[in-house]
Copies of this chain bind each other. A is one copy, B any other.
């Protein structure tokens, strides 16, 4: 597996237009058991979905990671960095710069906890709530809507449940 962006290879472009057999020198490559490898297809699909997410939410300049942080802060106001980061699978050191970015854009605030003065209470600002609301709308009406259009609601639900199963039990 490997997988990054362009699926439409350059090999096809290099093919000559003359009448060649299907096995001519410029023929498309055989994917072989690659198309049966779940990890490979999984990664390709994930890249596509993230790509589309970025496009849909581009007006708000939010990455998937930042969006997930805002979502979590909205549902869990007052938590500290360790809790938010670990819930999202982010290591605490890497979460610092990320929060710096969000805080410098006035989307959330760090305030020292009264109980435990080591930790910071993380809270969304009003601007953060507004941006999140707009982001949620964009995601729902553009991103997820497009997925629903491709798969249909029931297939989408099935896919989600299988992926959740893998993420939790595998």
Residues of A within 8 A of B (CB): 1-7, 9-11, 14, 29-50, 52-53, 64-65, 67-69, 71-72, 74-76, 79, 82-84, 86-91, 136, 139, 143-144, 146-147, 150-151, 155-156, 158-160, 162-170
- Residues of B within 8 Å of A68, CB to CB, are 1-3, 34, 37, 40
- Residues of B within 8 Å of A139, CB to CB, are 37
For the complex formed by this chain, how many copies does it contain in all?
Answer: 2
Interface pair A2/B69, CB less than 8 Å apart: yes
Interface pair A167/B45, CB less than 8 Å apart: yes
Interface pair B163/A150, CB less than 8 Å apart: no
Interface pair B35/A164, CB less than 8 Å apart: yes
Interface pair A33/B169, CB less than 8 Å apart: no
Interface pair A147/B159, CB less than 8 Å apart: no
